[in-house]
Structure 1
Amino acid sequence: MASSSATTRHLVLVGGGHSHALLLRLWRERPLPGVRLTLINPGRLAHYSGMVPGHIAGHYRLDEITIDLGRLADSAGARLVEGRATGIDREAKRIELGGGPAIAYDLLSLDIGIDTHMPDLPGFQDHARPAKPLGDFVAAWSNWCDALVRDAVAPRICVIGAGLAGVELAFAMRYRTGRLGRPAEIRLVESGRALASVGRRSRTTLLDRLRRQSILLEEETEIAAVTAGGVVLRNGERRAASFVLGTAGARARSWISETGLETHEGFVTVDRLLQSLTDPAIFACGDCAHVGFAPRPKAGVYAVRAAPVLFQNLRAALGEGHPRAFRPQSDYLKLVSLGGRVALADRGCLAVSGGWVWRWRDRIDRGFMRRFPTPGDSR
């Protein structure tokens, strides 16, 4: 592809994460003359992570949690390229795509998320599913539920990792399998201490809920391998499962480490402007970025808050307006679904739960999705 002309600059967004989806909405309202906008994503659809547990539980249809990136890009005057980024040639200013031609850029923004693959765990790739990327997990869960209803698989699930994500998905899967008439035995296996990221009161409440729902929990337990029949523990004991889900840890996309950009554990290190410390032509946000000046856990709330800052700073880098510093909040309210239409709110020493918390979260999530076109609407 020919390089960008002197009169038309090319802004390329890699990844259809929350920050870039919101940025496209902002761009639709305030396009920048003389700038071409391209979005690169493996497909034209993206799932909203906040509603995935509700979909797994059966509360939401797939189209209700899915953003139509193709229509969103069209509305912003952007081009959508369906492809998977595999590298960056920073000298030539090109994004390399697997199986497709490279795409030249003048300014680049990365919002490519993370995955929870466990490549160092024997058997994981062949016999387990990572919770991220979300699309792969959602499809695998749907197929397994179909097989469960046909009595083609045993109702046994093992979740690797008992952090907040793993526990919330365990609640969702317990509820869904019960509604299908095949309540599954669900086991959480955690190498350290379960639910280490929440307050004491919330942890006590969640552990009690696990016991009441007969969800098994093994803490300080290492998994040595995943097999077709379940998992093998480090001590040699086996735990049967027909669906093994990996939620432990967050891994950066492997190709990032080959770009020469400064990284932290594989994540692109950015400054207060969300700009790479190495290359001023590259920005990063969402889970793929490491906010070095104020490290935060990987959470969608930070990606949402970063979107208007990213929008303003990309425009500033293109010569329009002044940059703005990103100031991530030190903590955030966590709303955790408990399987049914009940949820828990956690922040610091606060811990409350009930149906009203679930309805509160439902309103927030549906409000977020109303901003975007979905496969099922006519906008």
Structure 2
Amino acid sequence: MQRSQLVTKDLVLIGGGHSHAIVLRMLGMKPIPGIRVTLITEASDTPYSGMLPGHVAGFYTHEECHIDLRCLAQFAQVQFYRDRVIGLDLVNKKVICANRPPVAYDLLSVDIGSTPAQISVPGAAEYAIPAKPVSQFLQHWDELCRDVTVADPPNSPCKGGLLRLGIVGGGAGGVELAMAMQGHLQSIRSPQPRLKRGAKSSLLFREERKDRDLEIHLFQRGDELMPNYNSWVRHRCQEILIQKGIQIHLRETVCKIKKSFPTPDSRTGAQPCVPTSHTINCESGLQVECDRIFWVTQASAPDWLEAAGIATDERGFILVNNALQSISHPDVFAAGDIASMANYPRPKAGVFAVRQGKPLFKNLRRAILGQSLQPYKPQKQYLSLIGTGDGKAIAAWGNFGFGATGWLWRWKDAIDRKFMQRFSNLPQMAEKSQKSKVKSQNLKSTIQNPPTPTLPLPTPSKMPCAGCGSKVSSTVLERVLNQIKQDSTNWCDRQDIIIGLDAPDDAAVVEVPGGLWMVHTIDHFRSLINDPYIFGKITANHCLSDIFAMGATPQSALAIATIPYALESKTEETLYQLLSGAVKVLSDAQTPLVGGHTTEGAELEFGLSCNGLVHPDKLLRKGGMLAGQVLILTKALGTGTLFAAEMQREAKGDWIDRAVTSMLQSNQVAAACLMAHGATACTDVTGFGLAGHLYEMVRASQVAVDLNLAAIPALEGAIATLQKGIVSSLQAENLRIAHFITDLNIARAESVSQSARYSLLFDPQTSGGLLASIPAEQANQCLNNLHGLGYAQSCTIGKVVDLEGDRQPIALSIL
């Protein structure tokens, strides 16, 4: 039997900056033997700084200027932990996260970028929008653009209302942002066409100055804008800003921002399109009223870095040597804006982060393999191409400057798109050289059974044998359980647990109160996501759903886990993350983990055996549907196709994020709500898909169902992946239920979307929602309550009717 290779070390990457993106790509091309790599990042995608001003200007979509980190991690066979890092334990080598247990490392690399310097100006933290984190900035910018677009339709009472923006910070970032914002907002608000390519610049300025209803104020405390650039570039950018009508306030230090009431346009009397207004106060006495204020000041580092005890410069950035290695902690590396090279100080610019990616990968590899590190020397000068927001750019190189011209922008655009293509067109590895878009009949995996990638590691000299039952050692298990006991606030402290993990025996013993029935269920999965903590939470939710679907209250759970072969410390880390996730969900449901079994194997697997108690009169079964009732579904469908697509790198990271969020939502509260509104039958939608589980209900109840196909909610991206023919391999088995469904012509409809929605009926779900029948008169109130409880996609999808004549149990319609 072929065995998985042994994991010997943990490399943890904090942040998805430019350098780490390159490291991940190189890891996918050339894995490091014996290493488990984990990426911890707050978002599933990361912006490319070179294209952000173009995105603000409206030239690039979000997808075009962001790197999909989930897809990149899948390519690199890297564990992907979506969380926020809040500290480092450099002594015990652990990364402290906001929403999960600490993550152990042997080697650490940090590439989290930078943030604007701490906003100490009174009122700025409350009312200003910082340029970083970029994701939050873009949310505010997109909201502003939507507000302006909605406010400017023909005949709107707000048509032509004055819009005033303030930008604090006159460096390159602030200047480029001002021009980008002006260009995009002008294209939204101005009825005149944008300048065509090749038109004279004087025409451009006349055309742009016609938009008198947009004011942009740029504040700079220094004597000149862009102090890090040569004088020609500074003066040229200032000249263009003036020609564009952007008001520049030099030698103005912002000292206070206060909220004020919006005032009508003094010229037209029109009300401002943005309902909130603020006043920028400067030390000179200058006061400027603005509707939105953007803060683009000097970069800074998060406080937790310096608090951890690692060596930093005067601004809190990690000091590194020529090998990008911390000067105080050799097991920590850093790159990008968060790093300061002790021997080669350089400005915080994306070009350096990009250039550091390759030497960072080489030195991480050499450090892991015990080889000497190689020095890296950054260039002194670099080319800057500064976009002017109108399809032109200025070039800056040392003391040289040129522009603005259209061909410079086209050159910049070509450079940026070429860089991004490295991450959107990932090379196919040898084992993935076959066609990526596999149709359903050719799929080799399911949502319940995806293969867990393994690195091509050398066979260790001492691989565990199977004669011992492949069990995890008792010391590892004891340490993990003791740690989880310390972490948990609800640990086996109920009086009905006679024998549990506090006093382990051959089996657990739980007292059952008189007059109640006990329900039992068990589920078990191979890992569908490369994060053991999240996998543990998803599995626990899935396993408990059977209890909730029957109207029962869970009492206790037993776990069974298979941990991939690794050194003892690595096995302990995986088991700790896995059980921590499961125990978190079980604790929220007031369900103690009372025992279980652990073993070692080729891939990560986990399952739970759960039991619960219910009064006989409260028991919900599949066979309780009554004619005249309506069907309510509490969650959207699509996990099967989405995770099949992720395996083929055809799913966007945001789609997987939303699917994970859905799978992490417990059905406990939804079940209580359905019962409170008279539910008589219920089931959870899992591996058989909606159609399979619905058929079980109608068959057991001896009724029929009219199902509204158009009403069935789909997770974001699920219809798109189904349209590509990407389905779980279990889909083919689930389709056998189709001969019990009428109106199958829908599956052959000319509309691709309707065909995809039909396929959604058979999509196998992991930790899916509840499907219940309730009295029709209770439906609206039930849905309102479900929405208020956080089940936003709950909806009525059909009605229960009598089974008459030779009609099929399930009939489809599109209403």
TM-score category, normalised to shorter length:
over 0.9
C-alpha distance in structure 2 between counterparts of 1:145 and 1:231, whole Å: 22
1:315 deviates by: 0.7
Q: Quick one: which amino acid aligns to residue 418 of structure 2?
A: G
C-alpha distance in structure 1 between counterparts of 2:11 and 2:354, whole Å: 20
What is aligned with 1:219?
Answer: 250
Alignment counterpart, residue 364 of structure 1, candidates 407, 415, 425:
415
C-alpha distance in structure 2 between counterparts of 1:208 and 1:356, whole Å: 20
Q: Quick one: which amino acid aligns to residue 97 of structure 2?
A: L
SS at match of 2:102: strand
1:33 deviates by: 1.4
SS at match of 2:424: coil
What is aligned with 1:251?
Answer: 300
What is aligned with 2:155?
Answer: none
Check if 1:169 corresponds to 2:177: yes
SS at match of 1:140: helix
Alignment deviations for residues 103-154 of structure 1 (CA, whole Å, 9 cap, x no partner): 0000000001111154311111211111111111111100011112233885
- Does the 8 A contact of 1:158 with 1:230 survive in 2? no
- Does the 8 A contact of 2:18 with 2:336 survive in 1? yes
Could you say if the C-alpha distance between residues 252 and 355 of structure 1 is closer, same or farther in structure 2, counting changes exceeding 3 Å? Answer: same
Alignment deviations for residues 137-196 of structure 1 (CA, whole Å, 9 cap, x no partner): 111100011112233885111110111110000000010110011652111100113121
Query: Any residues of structure 2 matched to 1:47-66 within 5 Å, and which?
Result: 47-66=47-66
C-alpha distance in structure 2 between counterparts of 1:116 and 1:230, whole Å: 21
What is aligned with 2:218?
Answer: 188
Q: Quick one: which amino acid aligns to residue 415 of structure 2?
A: I
Q: Quick one: which amino acid aligns to residue 262 of structure 1?
A: A
What is aligned with 2:108?
Answer: 108
Alignment deviations for residues 70-95 of structure 1 (CA, whole Å, 9 cap, x no partner): 01001001011000111110111000
SS at match of 2:237: helix
C-alpha distance in structure 1 between counterparts of 2:279 and 2:413, whole Å: 34
SS at match of 2:284: coil
SS at match of 2:236: helix
Could you say if the C-alpha distance between residues 7 and 64 of structure 1 is closer, same or farther in structure 2, counting changes exceeding 3 Å? Answer: closer
- Does the 8 A contact of 1:117 with 1:246 survive in 2? no
- Does the 8 A contact of 1:188 with 1:217 survive in 2? yes
1:236 deviates by: 3.3
- Does the 8 A contact of 2:7 with 2:36 survive in 1? no
What is aligned with 1:303?
Answer: 353
What is aligned with 1:3?
Answer: none
What is aligned with 2:283?
Answer: 234
Alignment counterpart, residue 328 of structure 1, candidates 342, 364, 378:
378
User: How high is the sequence identity, in percent, across the aligned residues?
Assistant: 36
Check if 1:67 corresponds to 2:86: no
What is aligned with 1:84?
Answer: 84
- Does the 8 A contact of 2:128 with 2:292 survive in 1? yes
Unaligned runs of 5+ in 2: 1-5, 152-157, 191-210, 260-277, 426-645, 652-815
- Does the 8 A contact of 1:19 with 1:304 survive in 2? yes
Check if 1:284 corresponds to 2:334: yes
What is aligned with 1:314?
Answer: 364
1:100 deviates by: 1.4
SS at match of 1:75: helix
Moved over 4 A (4+): none
- Does the 8 A contact of 1:334 with 1:345 survive in 2? yes
- Does the 8 A contact of 1:154 with 1:241 survive in 2? no
Check if 1:179 corresponds to 2:187: yes
Check if 1:206 corresponds to 2:206: no
1:237 deviates by: 2.9
Alignment counterpart, residue 163 of structure 2, candidates 130, 142, 155:
155
SS at match of 1:371: helix
- Does the 8 A contact of 1:28 with 1:77 survive in 2? yes
C-alpha distance in structure 2 between counterparts of 1:194 and 1:30, whole Å: 44
Could you say if the C-alpha distance between residues 372 and 320 of structure 1 is closer, same or farther in structure 2, counting changes exceeding 3 Å? Answer: farther
What is aligned with 1:95?
Answer: 95
SS at match of 2:33: coil
- Does the 8 A contact of 1:230 with 1:244 survive in 2? no
SS at match of 2:234: helix
C-alpha distance in structure 1 between counterparts of 2:215 and 2:378, whole Å: 39
Query: Any residues of structure 2 matched to 1:257-276 within 5 Å, and which?
Result: 257-264=306-313, 265-276=315-326
C-alpha distance in structure 1 between counterparts of 2:370 and 2:43, whole Å: 31
- Does the 8 A contact of 1:335 with 1:345 survive in 2? yes
C-alpha distance in structure 2 between counterparts of 1:224 and 1:348, whole Å: 34
TM-score, normalising length: structure 2: 0.45
Q: Quick one: which amino acid aligns to residue 42 of structure 2?
A: P
- Does the 8 A contact of 1:162 with 1:188 survive in 2? yes
What is aligned with 1:14?
Answer: 14
Q: Quick one: which amino acid aligns to residue 221 of structure 2?
A: S
Q: Quick one: which amino acid aligns to residue 69 of structure 1?
A: L
SS at match of 1:16: coil
C-alpha distance in structure 1 between counterparts of 2:400 and 2:37, whole Å: 43
C-alpha distance in structure 2 between counterparts of 1:7 and 1:113, whole Å: 30
Q: Quick one: which amino acid aligns to residue 313 of structure 1?
A: N
SS at match of 1:227: strand
Q: Quick one: which amino acid aligns to residue 254 of structure 1?
A: D
1:307 deviates by: 0.7
Could you say if the C-alpha distance between residues 219 and 161 of structure 1 is closer, same or farther in structure 2, counting changes exceeding 3 Å? Answer: same
Equivalent pairs, count: 374
Alignment counterpart, residue 345 of structure 1, candidates 378, 395, 398:
395
Unaligned runs of 5+ in 1: 1-5
- Does the 8 A contact of 1:276 with 1:283 survive in 2? yes
With 291-300 and 199-208 compared, the bigger mean Cα shift is at 199-208
C-alpha distance in structure 2 between counterparts of 1:154 and 1:81, whole Å: 44
C-alpha distance in structure 1 between counterparts of 2:61 and 2:141, whole Å: 13
1:230 deviates by: 3.1
Alignment deviations for residues 310-335 of structure 1 (CA, whole Å, 9 cap, x no partner): 00111111016542111001111110
Q: Quick one: which amino acid aligns to residue 247 of structure 1?
A: V
Q: Quick one: which amino acid aligns to residue 196 of structure 1?
A: P
Q: Quick one: which amino acid aligns to residue 137 of structure 1?
A: F
- Does the 8 A contact of 2:95 with 2:104 survive in 1? yes
Q: Which has the larger radius of gyration?
A: 2
1:221 deviates by: 0.6
C-alpha distance in structure 2 between counterparts of 1:337 and 1:131, whole Å: 17
Alignment deviations for residues 270-313 of structure 1 (CA, whole Å, 9 cap, x no partner): 00010001101100110001111110000011011111110011
RMSD in angstroms over aligned alpha carbons?
1.9
Alignment deviations for residues 231-269 of structure 1 (CA, whole Å, 9 cap, x no partner): 111233311111111111001111111011110110000
C-alpha distance in structure 1 between counterparts of 2:388 and 2:7, whole Å: 54
